[in-house]
């Protein structure tokens, strides 16, 4: 079993993913956590929708479930420090994270991080607790795009950037 877990972690470390910060604000307070689990679900429903998987012990997950609103901030490749900040690397109070990052409230009052390549403000549509993680599905209500489309990536346990490959053959 532990072999399977180790192989799973190694296998998944090879999937370079983009890095986002899920933020929320409302009656449960203001929280944010770094996630690589952001996934587009559909562009063609009633509204576009996306999902994020957040550990059940993360205060951000509990706050999203109460606030019923969140923002998925897709980080730009210059924002490693923002990723580390919201992953709790470097310690400090969770609430102080918002004093160290530039942000402003979106139309729905959710924290949109300055410089994020894209910020998707969402209303929580449904949530499923699957063992250790909440799978949160949001309907997108507003989107802010920055001038720079290059997203920060994380793969093989390090931050990375996407490079264009020449055609093969």
Ligand X SMILES: Cc1cc2nc3c(=O)[nH]c(=O)nc-3n(C[C@H](O)[C@H](O)[C@H](O)COP(=O)(O)O)c2cc1C
Residues in touch with ligand X (CB under 6 A):
19, 33-37, 53-55, 58-60, 83, 87-88, 94, 154
Nearer Cβ to ligand X, position 87 or 137? 87
- In sign, the C-alpha dihedral spanning 31, 73, 125, 25 is positive
Sheet holding 133-145, edge to edge: 31-35, 20-24, 69-74, 118-130, 133-145, 49-55, 39-42
Residue 85 CB, shortest distance to ligand X, in Å, is 10
- Residue corresponding to tokens 């983009």: 18
Residue 153 CB, shortest distance to ligand X, in Å, is 9
Nearer Cβ to ligand X, position 36 or 73? 36
Residue 74 CB, shortest distance to ligand X, in Å, is 12
Give the closest residue to 28 by CA, choosing from 72, 65, 71, 73.
65
Nearer Cβ to ligand X, position 10 or 169? 10
């Amino acid at each position: 079993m532990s072999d399977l877990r180790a192989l799973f972690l190694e296998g998944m470390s090879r999937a370079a993913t983009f890095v986002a910060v899920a933020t929320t604000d409302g009656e449960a307070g203001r929280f944010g956590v770094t996630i690589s689990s952001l996934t587009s679900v559909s562009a063609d429903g009633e509204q576009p929708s996306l999902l994020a998987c957040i550990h059940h012990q993360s205060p951000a997950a509990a706050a999203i479930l109460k606030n019923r609103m969140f923002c998925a901030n897709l980080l730009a490749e210059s924002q490693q420090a923002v990723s580390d900040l919201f992953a709790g690397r470097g310690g400090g109070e969770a609430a102080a994270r918002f004093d160290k990052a530039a942000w402003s409230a979106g139309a729905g009052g959710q924290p949109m991080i300055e410089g994020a390549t894209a910020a998707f403000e969402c209303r929580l549509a449904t949530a499923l607790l699957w063992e250790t993680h909440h799978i949160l599905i949001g309907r997108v209500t507003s989107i802010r795009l920055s001038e720079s489309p290059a997203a920060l990536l994380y793969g093989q346990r390090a931050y990375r950037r996407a490079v264009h490959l020449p055609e093969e053959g």
